[in-house]
Amino acid sequence: MASRIDVSIEHRGPPAEASSAQRDPNTCPSCGSHYREDELERALRVCPQCGHHFPLRARQRVAQLVDHGTFVEQEESLRSADPLGFFDVRPYTERIAEAEVSTGLGDAIVIGAAKIERRDCQLAVMDFAFMGGSMGSVVGEKLARACERAAERRLPLVCVTASGGARMQEGILSLMQMPKTVCAVDLLRESRCAFFCVMTHPTTAGVLASFASLGDVIVAEPGALLSFTGPRVVQQTTREKLPDDFGLSESNLRLGHLDAILTRGELRPFLGRLLALFEHGA
Amino acid sequence: MASRIDVSIEHRGPPAEASSAQRDPNTCPSCGSHYREDELERALRVCPQCGHHFPLRARQRVAQLVDHGTFVEQEESLRSADPLGFFDVRPYTERIAEAEVSTGLGDAIVIGAAKIERRDCQLAVMDFAFMGGSMGSVVGEKLARACERAAERRLPLVCVTASGGARMQEGILSLMQMPKTVCAVDLLRESRCAFFCVMTHPTTAGVLASFASLGDVIVAEPGALLSFTGPRVVQQTTREKLPDDFGLSESNLRLGHLDAILTRGELRPFLGRLLALFEHGA
Amino acid sequence: MARRRRQPPGASAAEQLRLRDRLARLTDLPLLRGAGVSGEMARLRRQLERIAAEPTEDDVWRAVELARHQARPYTLDYAERILDDFVELHGDRSLGDDHAIVAGLGRFRGATVALVGHQKGRDIHERTRRNFGMAMPEGYRKAMRVMEIADRHGFPVLSLVDTPGAYPGVSAEQHGQGGWIARSQLAMARLCVPTVACVIGEGGSGGAVAIALADRVLMQENAIYSVISPEGCAAILWRDAGEAKKAAAAFKPDARHCLELGVIDAIVPEPAGGAHANHDEAARLLAAALEAALAEVAGLEADERRRARRAKFRAMGELTA
Amino acid sequence: MARRRRQPPGASAAEQLRLRDRLARLTDLPLLRGAGVSGEMARLRRQLERIAAEPTEDDVWRAVELARHQARPYTLDYAERILDDFVELHGDRSLGDDHAIVAGLGRFRGATVALVGHQKGRDIHERTRRNFGMAMPEGYRKAMRVMEIADRHGFPVLSLVDTPGAYPGVSAEQHGQGGWIARSQLAMARLCVPTVACVIGEGGSGGAVAIALADRVLMQENAIYSVISPEGCAAILWRDAGEAKKAAAAFKPDARHCLELGVIDAIVPEPAGGAHANHDEAARLLAAALEAALAEVAGLEADERRRARRAKFRAMGELTA
Ligand SMILES: [Zn+2]
Ligand SMILES: [Zn+2]
């Protein structure tokens, strides 16, 4: 009988966080080059040596993408309610509090209004540092509200994903964020608003299998793991030999699941062009 | 440079007409059993020994499928107009006249109103004996009129296909029967009429790539060749080794292109059930 | 049954309703809507009491075991019992025919409906052929295709959910597992016809939710619905798959908790001992629940129904602000 | 240009119109509608005369050769010349990204449009990568996906046809070549937005028609559009592929004959010598023709446009009764 895990959080390929946990965060896990913070920041946190894309925090992503000073954050105050009173080795509430302190975020997503290359848009950016970017009630709610605000203002939604999947500690309610966000995208479509999704490492499980895959245009950063089930579970379950680039952006492009792979530097002008193309009245 | 033929008429697998041309039509090409005409007729022209499905003429098919005495033929008088004044080794008009004489049909399709298991439906049945069941202006027109009559009377369309593809002698106009019949099916759909397609040996090229593949439900007889390009051309063009069951009903079912494979005896009750299920108001 | 809430019940139904109301008041729970279909008062009372009580760790684990019971009725067991003239359709028109999902048309209470559902196998051969009810993109595409036919012809869609999860295989991933689970949900969100889903066994994660975005979502009494299997959860959070029972209790995948959390609309009672004990009775109870749920949404205009469906899922989750 | 038939032409356009009318009367042919875009009267006259004359066997063969000319502009050559901010999109979300078809969005005359088209390759590497412009089901699905985006957002669809035919390979067949050619046509029949197709090289059989079910179908002066290649036809009917020239003459795949047969709506002139001689000028002429054709259908209501599109193809064929 095959394992039933399909939401586990895994990493693989170029950005090998697992082994780099102890390393200096400014040392490239791919080529070993080390950078000063300001060097790396100037390079958009892409290794100038080998092109490795270091993980980006949500606020760093916003700063890189939007026209300076145009981002107005929304719904900052939303917090999870621990619906199950969940306790594994520690209470869920404790895990959340810790994540809040360490990330400075209320949950794994930041939403807001912004301009990209002088075009208005609604933005939603996930942050993997907050409990693996997992989707619980707050991520689902903020994504849904981002869709609704976009629909109200007839603006495109630009979403940057990074997620290990569902927030297991919210049990079945975390699973329900999948149909919830899908319904929100349905509203967005009905309102004839464009939806662009930028998948970054990693975008897996419940997020990949809901709103993230419904973008009109879907692009990804190089070397990102984008798979519903992670490679370790696939390997263990099926005993199949995995292709070297299993689940990575590059194989996803080849297999027809992405419109393009863009380096971090190409992202903003690309989104600017798309926003201009989709700027239309009804 | 690959060959550009994609409408050639070919056969392969069980019903090996090519080599059986000289054989007695009542000898099974698959197992060699010989039958009297009345035996074969009683067996719906399916070999009682091995299950081989002998080719059926359009009128035989109608007789097998519909409730006795309910078939009312339509548009019998339509004939092709030889739009290109086509002449290869013989004039097209001569080929048509010969086909008319030898088949007793005006072209490669017969349409009409009928009842199947006491349910009203519109019927369209192709006949491979008329110039390889090729689709020219008349086949396209009669199929389109069958769709329109079904739409008018809000009845399901039941179509039985057998075709080598386009009627080359009508040039580009034969190709245009593809979008023409597709548009007719679009009307049928808009009118919320059901469309059931029974593919028989062979259903290929322009017919497979237009109306035939647009059935709400698509079934086939066993061992029928159903491929866009025939196996000989695929083999010659690509030098690929073909699977043994290339293009046959059985591989089409496995590959997701058919809803079922039904023997001739199962066809009528199956259609009766479908007609009952789709009998709905509005 | 949910329907009884809105329509005046008959004589014996009225009695059931009184009992149900009393029990509901006693236990102060908004459930029991799924319990009205059984005719026998005594058993109904036992069932109500069992469902109404706060489930213990043992109760939850019993549901996990019953949901996976090898003799539990599967989708095709129900199809042959609750539908007339069922015609199974096959294939995704692209790559294959995924036997882990069945889809077809049949007559339910006299009207044509589409049925889609996961299908497990009972013996080893069938289990392999059905891939343990774990679908690939091909399976979701088949379901979408049949739902599209239903939508075009105005047939309501019934969906039966029973899967450990989507298949975690290489080709499933290569064919776009995540994307097709998303698109299958979107297709269901867009349907104009009435839709009812019921979790009849394991409602495992994304593989389940792919065909469960319906106007009404029901759950059988002993079914489970969860974001991850108890074993998977235990392995990840406790780092010990042996802690599955503890994980299940923490997770609350049972019907009673799903109802409390607002994830499902009603619980469908099973025969005494569980659905596996009496397939015919289980089918009778399921059919009654599906009928009632369909009736609730059948009267709405298509647009209204779609908006309500969206609003229903939109509301799921618990927040503080 | 077709548009000029309905709208009052400007000054020099009026002169062109008179010339065209005179030539049309002289030759008694309902063509020439595609010729109005060139500004130079002398060249226009030469073109008109060439187009108006009954093509000889040599003329037809010359079109066959020019349609396949290796230096002939391909879809991407036009995309970069007639569209601003072209963004190519990739993938069918199921199996792959077929390089024999390109699809994307760009700005045409200031408004966003979707472009789909076959793409051949010029050097050996590119030709292999593009599979000689012979698409697989993956390619048609990519085109359908981008057309669906266009439809949802109200972008007109331009389609450029240039293929020897659909790819005759094993996996193409296994993935449902025939079915996807049919579904691509059906998708185009259902589009609410204005659609214009132009055959810019080889319009080869089902592979071509898959993306050519449009409100207006144009053909470049030296393009061909046919049910089978001359070689294929000769091999089957004459049993000698060497008779291709004879077959082509019998087949009449050239623009002039396609216009006469009512298969296309207008002929798009090419630069002197053929499109390969001057890509920029060829693109200028094509863009003018596309713009005029779009303008003809842009004013209609979506339903009306769809009905007219259906009626247009419904009428094709010649019968006696
Ligand atoms: Zn590096
Ligand atoms: Zn035999």
In a domain, C1, yes or no: no
Instruction: Check contact B-A (3+ Cβ pairs < 8 Å).
Output: no
Q: Report pLDDT for B134.
A: 97
Phi-psi region of D53 (alpha: psi -120 to 50; beta: other; left: phi over 0): beta
Q: Report pLDDT for B6.
A: 35
Q: Report pLDDT for A6.
A: 35
In a domain, C319, yes or no: no
The alpha-carbon gap from C142 to the nearest alpha carbon of chain D, in Å, equals: 13
Q: Report pLDDT for A182.
A: 98
Contact D69, D276 (CB under 8 A): yes
Query: Does the CB of A4 have a partner CB in chain C at under 8 Å?
Result: yes
Residue of D nearest to B226 (CA): D178
Range with the poorest average pLDDT among A77-91, C46-60, D9-23: D9-23
In a domain, B30, yes or no: no
B78 pLDDT higher than 50: yes
Taking the C-alpha atoms of residue C196 and residue C291, their distance in angstroms, rounded to an integer, is 9
Q: Is the dihedral of CA D161, D167, D168, D171 positive or negative?
A: negative
In a domain, C3, yes or no: no
For D166-185, what is the mean pLDDT?
97
Contacts of B187 in chain D (CB under 8 A): 310
Taking the C-alpha atoms of residue B205 and residue D242, their distance in angstroms, rounded to an integer, is 24
Contact C233, C46 (CB under 8 A): no
**Closest among D171, D177, D165, D174 to D212, alpha carbons compared:** D165
- Say yes or no: C161 and C177 in one domain: yes
Contacts of B208 in chain C (CB under 8 A): none
For the segment C57-94, what is each residue's pLDDT rounded down to a tens digit? 899 999 999 999 999 999 999 999 999 999 999 999 99
For an interface test with A, the pick among C173, C186, C188 (most A C-beta atoms closer than 10 Å) comes out as C173
Using CB atoms, pick whichever of B140, B186, B212 lies closest to residue D310: B186
Q: Cβ contact (<8 Å) for A84 and C229? A: no
Cα D180 to ligand 1 centre (Å): 44
- Say yes or no: D184 and D233 in one domain: yes
Q: Report pLDDT for D81.
A: 98
Using CB atoms, pick whichever of C93, C175, C176 lies closest to residue D179: C93
In a domain, C4, yes or no: no
Query: What's the pLDDT band for C313 if we cut at 50, 70, 90?
Result: very high
Query: Does the CB of C112 have a partner CB in chain B at under 8 Å?
Result: yes
In a domain, D2, yes or no: no
Query: Does the CB of B154 have a partner CB in chain C at under 8 Å?
Result: no
**Closest among B176, C198, C199 to D264, alpha carbons compared:** B176
Rounded to the nearest 10 degrees, the angle between the axes of helix C11-27 and helix C41-52 is: 20
Q: Report pLDDT for C178.
A: 98
Query: What's the pLDDT band for D231 if we cut at 50, 70, 90?
Result: confident
Q: Report pLDDT for B211.
A: 98
Q: Mean pLDDT in chain C? A: 88
Token pair for residue B196? 């059931």
Range with the poorest average pLDDT among B83-92, B111-120, B150-159, C134-143: B83-92
pLDDT > 90 fraction of chain D, expressed in percent and rounded: 74
For the segment D308-318, what is each residue's pLDDT rounded down to a tens digit? 999 999 999 99
- Say yes or no: C120 and C258 in one domain: yes
pLDDT > 70 fraction of chain B, expressed in percent and rounded: 91
Q: Report pLDDT for C14.
A: 54
**Closest among C106, C117, C162 to C140, alpha carbons compared:** C117
For an interface test with D, the pick among C93, C94, C173, C184 (most D C-beta atoms closer than 10 Å) comes out as C94
For B220-241, what is the mean pLDDT?
93
Q: Cβ contact (<8 Å) for D229 and B3? A: yes
Buried-exposed string D62-100: b where 16+ CB fall within 10 A, e elsewhere: bbbebbbeeebbbbbbbbebbbeebbbbbbbbbbbbbbb
For the segment A219-278, what is each residue's pLDDT rounded down to a tens digit? 999 999 999 999 999 998 888 889 999 999 999 999 999 999 999 999 999 999 999 999
Query: Does the CB of C221 have a partner CB in chain B at under 8 Å?
Result: no
Query: What's the pLDDT band for D37 if we cut at 50, 70, 90?
Result: very low
Range with the poorest average pLDDT among A197-201, C297-301, D33-37, D261-265: D33-37
The angle formed by the CA atoms of residues A6, A12 and A15, to the nearest 5 degrees, is 130
In the numeric block, the tokens 């798009």 are attached to D268
pLDDT > 70 fraction of chain A, expressed in percent and rounded: 91
For D205-218, what is the mean pLDDT?
98
Q: Report pLDDT for C321.
A: 72
C125 pLDDT higher than 70: yes
Instruction: Check contact C-B (3+ Cβ pairs < 8 Å).
Output: yes
Number of domains in chain A: 1
E-strand spans in chain A? 72-74, 79-80, 109-116, 119-126, 157-163, 195-203, 217-220, 260-261
Q: Cβ contact (<8 Å) for B256 and C153? A: no
Using CB atoms, pick whichever of A173, A184, A206 lies closest to residue C261: A173
Using CB atoms, pick whichever of C93, C175, C183 lies closest to residue D95: C175
Q: Report pLDDT for C162.
A: 98
Rounded to the nearest 10 degrees, the angle between the axes of helix C302-314 and helix C177-190 is: 130
Query: What's the pLDDT band for D30 if we cut at 50, 70, 90?
Result: very low
Residue of C nearest to A241 (CA): C170
- Say yes or no: C149 and C66 in one domain: yes
Show the low-confidence residues of chain A (pLDDT under 50): 1-20, 281-282
Number of B/C CB contacts below 8 angstroms equals 59
Q: Cβ contact (<8 Å) for D106 and A277? A: yes
In a domain, D156, yes or no: yes
User: Measuring CA to CA, how many Å separate C256 from each of A24, C162, C200, C289?
Assistant: 48, 18, 14, 16
In a domain, B67, yes or no: yes
- Say yes or no: D272 and D166 in one domain: yes
Range with the poorest average pLDDT among A12-16, A102-106, B39-43, B105-109: A12-16
Number of C/D CB contacts below 8 angstroms equals 18
In the complex, which subunits touch B with 3 or more CB pairs below 8 angstroms?
Answer: C, D
Contacts of B194 in chain C (CB under 8 A): 153
For D287-312, what is the mean pLDDT?
97
For C258-265, what is the mean pLDDT?
95
Rounded to the nearest 10 degrees, the angle between the axes of helix D75-82 and helix D279-298 is: 70
In a domain, C5, yes or no: no
Instruction: For chain B, give the DSSP string.
Output: ------------SS--HHHHTTS-TTB-TTT--B--HHHHHHTTTB-TTT--B----HHHHHHHHSPTT--EEE-TT-EE--TT--BSSSBHHHHHHHHHHHHS-SSSEEEEEEEETTEEEEEEEE-TTTGGG-B-HHHHHHHHHHHHHHHHHT--EEEEEEE-SB-GGGHHHHHTHHHHHHHHHHHHHHTT--EEEEEEEEE-HHHHTTGGGG-SEEEE-TT-B--SS-HHHHHHHH-PPPPTTTTBHHHHHHTTS-SEE--HHHHHHHHHHHHHHT----
Contacts of C321 in chain A (CB under 8 A): 77-79
Query: Does the CB of C192 have a partner CB in chain B at under 8 Å?
Result: no
Contact B21, B212 (CB under 8 A): no
C136 pLDDT higher than 80: yes
CATH number of the domain encompassing residue B77: 3.90.226.10
Contact A199, A256 (CB under 8 A): no
Tell me which ligand sits closest to the C-alpha of residue B35: 2
Query: Does the CB of A269 have a partner CB in chain D at under 8 Å?
Result: no
Taking the C-alpha atoms of residue D149 and residue C272, their distance in angstroms, rounded to an integer, is 52
- In single-letter form, the type of residue at position D171 comes to S
Contacts of D182 in chain C (CB under 8 A): none
In the sheet that holds A195-203, the strands lie side by side as: A72-74, A109-116, A119-126, A157-163, A195-203, A217-220, A260-261
Residue of C nearest to B192 (CA): C153
Q: Report pLDDT for A9.
A: 42
C197 pLDDT higher than 70: yes
At residue C135, φ and ψ (nearest 5 deg) are -85, 160
- Say yes or no: D50 and D180 in one domain: no
In a domain, B12, yes or no: no
CB atoms within 10 A of CB A31: 11
Whether omega before A202 lies within 30 degrees of 0, making that bond cis, reads yes
Taking the C-alpha atoms of residue A13 and residue A252, their distance in angstroms, rounded to an integer, is 14
Taking the C-alpha atoms of residue A260 and residue B67, their distance in angstroms, rounded to an integer, is 57
In a domain, A9, yes or no: no
What is the C-alpha end-to-end distance of chain C, expressed in Å?
35
For D40-61, what is the mean pLDDT?
70
β partners of residue B126: B109
For C:120-149, CB contacts with D below 8 A are: 137
The alpha-carbon gap from C96 to the nearest alpha carbon of chain A, in Å, equals: 17
Contact A81, A75 (CB under 8 A): no
Q: Report pLDDT for D8.
A: 35
In the complex, which subunits touch D with 3 or more CB pairs below 8 angstroms?
Answer: A, B, C
Q: Report pLDDT for A188.
A: 98
Cα A32 to ligand 1 centre (Å): 6
H/E stretch holding D112 reads strand D111-118
In the numeric block, the tokens 């997020």 are attached to A207
In the complex, which subunits touch A with 3 or more CB pairs below 8 angstroms?
Answer: C, D
**Closest among B54, B16, B12, B56 to B35, alpha carbons compared:** B54
In a domain, B266, yes or no: yes
Buried-exposed string B191-207: b where 16+ CB fall within 10 A, e elsewhere: eebbbbbbbbbbbbbbb
pTM listed for this prediction: 0.91
B193 or D243, which is more confident: B193
Q: Cβ contact (<8 Å) for D186 and B83? A: no
Using CB atoms, pick whichever of C167, C181, C228 lies closest to residue A209: C181
For the segment C7-24, what is each residue's pLDDT rounded down to a tens digit? 333 435 555 555 555 454
CA dihedral of residues C33, C253, C202, A211 (deg, nearest 10) = 100
In a domain, B35, yes or no: no
Token pair for residue C130? 């059905």
Q: Cβ contact (<8 Å) for A4 and C204? A: yes
Task: List the domain range (segments joined by +) for residue A144.
Answer: 56-281
For B163-189, what is the mean pLDDT?
97
- Say yes or no: D214 and D156 in one domain: yes
D44 pLDDT higher than 80: no
The alpha-carbon gap from B215 to the nearest alpha carbon of chain C, in Å, equals: 10
Number of domains in chain D: 2
- Say yes or no: C213 and C260 in one domain: yes
Q: Mean pLDDT in chain D? A: 88
In a domain, B9, yes or no: no
Residue of C nearest to B271 (CA): C87
In a domain, A1, yes or no: no
Instruction: Check contact A-D (3+ Cβ pairs < 8 Å).
Output: yes
Q: Report pLDDT for D52.
A: 63
Residue of D nearest to C173 (CA): D94
Task: Label the pairing between strands A119-126 and A157-163.
Answer: parallel
Q: Mean pLDDT in chain B? A: 91
Task: List the domain range (segments joined by +) for residue C50.
Answer: 12-54
- Say yes or no: D249 and D212 in one domain: yes
Query: Does the CB of A80 have a partner CB in chain C at under 8 Å?
Result: yes
Q: Cβ contact (<8 Å) for A209 and C206? A: yes
In a domain, C2, yes or no: no
